[in-house]
Amino acid sequence: MTKRTSAQLSLKFLTEPKVKDKIKAWYDRLQAWSYAPVQNGMGVHGIPDRVGCVPVVITQDMVGKVFGMFVAIEAKGEGRRGEKDRGCTPNQVAQLTGIGKANGVALVCDGDEDLRSLEWISQISPTTYKNSA
């Protein structure tokens, strides 16, 4: 590995924070929902610096191909349905709303009833769809 001088870094290479800014601008330009997970060593290792949900229009060329679907599920303990926003904080509501606006699937879940509402996804999942054909 070649060590870069500070002059090389400033003239030739974008710093990682500047690259991250460009990536965020790319998501924003596409009216996507995105976020940068906090890397604190407590969660899953290797998560990318920014993840998001980009709305796309399915074209004729895409029909029959498999695409990923962004699904976000906020877990709440049973019995919180009667609370304002089902017990979600304002920040959680804002994030779930943003995902929905980008045509991702966003759900607050407090048990089996909510998970059953996602059954339509399992019907179009390649693991289920191929097995049922």
Residue 33, exposed/middle/buried by CB under 10 A (0-12, 13-18, 19+)? Answer: buried
| Dihedral angle over CA of 121, 122, 124, 129, nearest 10 | 180
Asked if residue 52 lies in contact with residue 72, where contact means CB atoms within 8 angstroms, the answer is no
**Where are the domains positioned within the chain?**
7-54, 55-133
DSSP E strand boundaries for 25-104: 33-35, 51-53, 71-75
Residue 10: what pLDDT?
A: 54
Q: What is the pLDDT along the chain (133 residues), one digit of tens a residue?
A: 566 566 555 555 778 888 899 999 999 999 999 999 887 777 777 778 899 999 888 899 999 888 888 999 999 988 788 899 999 999 999 999 999 999 999 999 988 888 889 888 877 777 665 544 4
